[in-house]
């Protein structure tokens, strides 16, 4: 877990300024859910046999005996809120998004520590493959706007549903039965508990074995086949660069049909369809699809590519002061400038005018306002053009209109 220092905040603000308006333009409304939830929500929702639940959750027991966990992801939280607040009566699909920290006791890696931040974008209540495509399109649009889509591709697969997946899992188990000795320790356990997770292993020996294994797309029921065909046709229509990855399953038990990730590694995020999750959590059968986007990994790429951070408001005015009377006038003027929407910097704790002018120069402001003892008594101010060095005296009650005229 790490601190986000002041000099790093500009990257976070840049991502938020780009992503949030786009997400809202696609009709998604923001929802904030608690960082702590009942552990049972994740054991039921994320899946008892997933690595997240088995190995990675931060869990605790309260003084009252409640079992709670820091959220390792957003989707179960959002689905719990959907049920708790009667959103099933809203017009569907219900489109929601969250932003914030999630927590996993995992081995730290590039762009993912044990506390990391995600956008979670979820659409509940529609089986239509166009919603899958729209979620992918929105994610891609965010990457494009941030300037990080150049080397990306969309990896996509269909892992079937409750009708056709059991048959595929049976074939998978049969394929691995006489190869058990070659599997890593985790995959030997997965073979008995959750065979689909075999395809999620990153160990080289296991990846070689899975290359010749059966593929889920060859064993889809007609509903899953037609759904996948529909998603791919929409992606073709949108000219999005996707690749079929028949080994992609993602590490969460609730996924059905579509799964996708944005490559290369480290992935900026991924998601898929979860048509049974609401029912698992106690609601009526309600289809859903969503994506999680990793903010730290996007920021890593922005820094790596040295992308210019557009949309950051530039400070154009610096307010300098000298003496006690100058400070009194300056602090009042500073409040007036901010109220008028004129972004102004200052260094009120500095007494040296030379030091204050050096700060103004480093900030590359257009103008510096100087208020000394003399100016305070005369209700005036020195206006210094930082590009030419020319100074003139302006009455203090005229300075705001004068600045607005010059800053146009």
Range of the domain at 154: 6-164+220-304
Q: Is residue 342 part of a domain?
A: yes
Domains in the chain, number: 2
For residue 130, how many C-alpha atoms fall within 13 Å in the half-sphere facing its CB? 4
Q: Are residues 20 and 159 located together in one domain of the fold?
A: yes
Higher per-residue pLDDT: 76 or 198: 76
- The mean pLDDT value for 292-321 works out to 90
Q: Are residues 22 and 108 located together in one domain of the fold?
A: yes
Residue 75: partners with Cβ closer than 8 Å, 6 or more residues away: 45, 46, 120, 122, 252, 254, 274, 277, 290, 292
The separation between the first and the last C-alpha atoms of the chain, rounded to the nearest angstrom, is 44
Rounded to whole angstroms, the Cα distance separating 346 from 322 reads 12
Q: Are residues 19 and 112 located together in one domain of the fold?
A: yes
CATH code where residue 108 lies = 3.30.930.10
Q: Are residues 120 and 269 located together in one domain of the fold?
A: yes
Q: Are residues 391 and 277 located together in one domain of the fold?
A: no
Q: Is residue 32 part of a domain?
A: yes
- Residues facing 367 on adjacent strands: 317, 385
- Residues facing 290 on adjacent strands: 122, 272
126, pLDDT greater than 70: yes
Q: Is residue 214 part of a domain?
A: no
Q: Are residues 279 and 402 located together in one domain of the fold?
A: no
Q: Are residues 344 and 269 located together in one domain of the fold?
A: no
pLDDT for 201 equals 83
Mean per-residue pLDDT of the chain: 92
CATH code where residue 379 lies = 3.40.50.800
Summarize pLDDT for 351-404 with one digit per residue, the tens. 999 999 999 999 999 999 999 999 999 999 999 999 999 999 999 999 999 999
pLDDT for 313 equals 66
Q: Are residues 146 and 279 located together in one domain of the fold?
A: yes
Q: Is residue 215 part of a domain?
A: no
Please spell the DSSP secondary structure of 193-246, one letter per residue. H-GGGGGG---HHHHHHHTTS--GGGG--HHHHHHHHHHHHHHHHTT--EEE-T
Of the candidates 346, 344, 364, 365, the residue with the CA atom closest to the CA atom of residue 356:
346
pLDDT for 86 equals 96
- The mean pLDDT value for 4-15 works out to 94
Rounded to whole angstroms, the Cα distance separating 160 from 168 reads 9
Q: Are residues 52 and 118 located together in one domain of the fold?
A: yes
Q: Is residue 179 part of a domain?
A: no
Rounded to whole angstroms, the Cα distance separating 40 from 48 reads 9
Q: Are residues 155 and 299 located together in one domain of the fold?
A: yes
pLDDT for 282 equals 94
109, pLDDT greater than 80: no
Q: Is residue 321 part of a domain?
A: yes
Instruction: Tell me which of 283, 304, 325 is where a domain ends.
Output: 304
Instruction: Tell me which of 250, 280, 304 is where a domain ends.
Output: 304
- The mean pLDDT value for 86-98 works out to 96
Q: Is residue 381 part of a domain?
A: yes
pLDDT for 112 equals 77
Main-chain phi, psi angles of 164, to 5 degrees: -105, -20
Q: Are residues 133 and 12 located together in one domain of the fold?
A: yes
Instruction: Tell me which of 304, 334, 362 is where a domain ends.
Output: 304
- The mean pLDDT value for 262-283 works out to 92
5, pLDDT greater than 90: yes
Torsion of CA 172, 173, 178, 183, to 10 degrees: 80
Q: Are residues 22 and 91 located together in one domain of the fold?
A: yes
pLDDT for 87 equals 96
Q: Is residue 76 part of a domain?
A: yes
213, pLDDT greater than 70: yes
């Amino acid at each position: 877990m790490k601190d986000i220092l002041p000099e790093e905040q500009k990257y976070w603000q840049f991502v938020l300024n780009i992503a949030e308006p786009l997400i809202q333009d696609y009709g998604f409304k923001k929802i904030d859910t608690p960082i702590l939830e009942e552990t049972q929500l994740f054991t039921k929702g994320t899946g008892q046999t997933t690595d997240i639940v088995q190995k990675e959750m931060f869990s605790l027991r309260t003084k009252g005996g409640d079992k709670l966990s820091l959220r390792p992801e957003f989707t179960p939280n959002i689905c719990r809120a959907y049920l708790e607040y009667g959103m099933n009566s809203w017009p569907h699909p219900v489109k929601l998004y969250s932003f914030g920290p999630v927590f996993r006791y995992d081995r730290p890696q590039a762009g993912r520590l044990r506390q990391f931040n995600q956008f979670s974008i979820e659409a509940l209540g529609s089986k239509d493959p166009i919603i899958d495509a729209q979620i992918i399109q929105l994610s891609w649009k965010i990457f494009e706007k941030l300037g990080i889509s150049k080397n990306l591709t969309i990896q996509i697969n269909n892992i079937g549903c409750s009708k056709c997946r059991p048959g595929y899992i049976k074939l998978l188990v049969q394929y691995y039965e006489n190869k058990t000795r070659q599997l890593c320790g985790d995959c030997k356990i997965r073979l008995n508990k959750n065979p689909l997770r075999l395809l999620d292993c990153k160990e080289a020996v296991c990846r070689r074995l899975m290359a010749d294994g059966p593929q889920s797309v060859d064993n889809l029921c007609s509903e899953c086949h037609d759904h996948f065909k529909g998603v791919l046709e929409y992606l073709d229509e949108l000219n999005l660069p996707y690749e079929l990855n028949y080994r992609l399953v993602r590490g969460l038990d609730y996924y059905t049909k579509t799964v996708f990730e944005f490559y290369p590694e480290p992935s900026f995020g991924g998601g898929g369809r979860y048509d049974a999750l609401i029912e698992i959590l106690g609601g009526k059968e309600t289809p859903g699809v969503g994506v999680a986007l990793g903010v730290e990994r996007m920021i890593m790429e922005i820094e790596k590519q040295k992308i210019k951070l557009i949309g950051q408001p530039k400070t154009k005015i610096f307010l300098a002061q000298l003496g006690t009377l100058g400070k009194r006038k300056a602090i009042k003027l500073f409040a007036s400038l901010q109220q008028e929407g004129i972004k102004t910097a200052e260094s009120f704790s500095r007494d040296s005018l030379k030091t204050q002018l050096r700060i103004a120069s480093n900030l590359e402001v257009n103008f510096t306002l100087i208020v000394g003892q003399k100016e305070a008594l005369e209700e005036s101010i020195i206006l210094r053009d930082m590009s030419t060095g020319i100074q003139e005296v302006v009455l203090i009650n005229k300075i705001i209109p004068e600045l607005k005229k010059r800053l146009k």
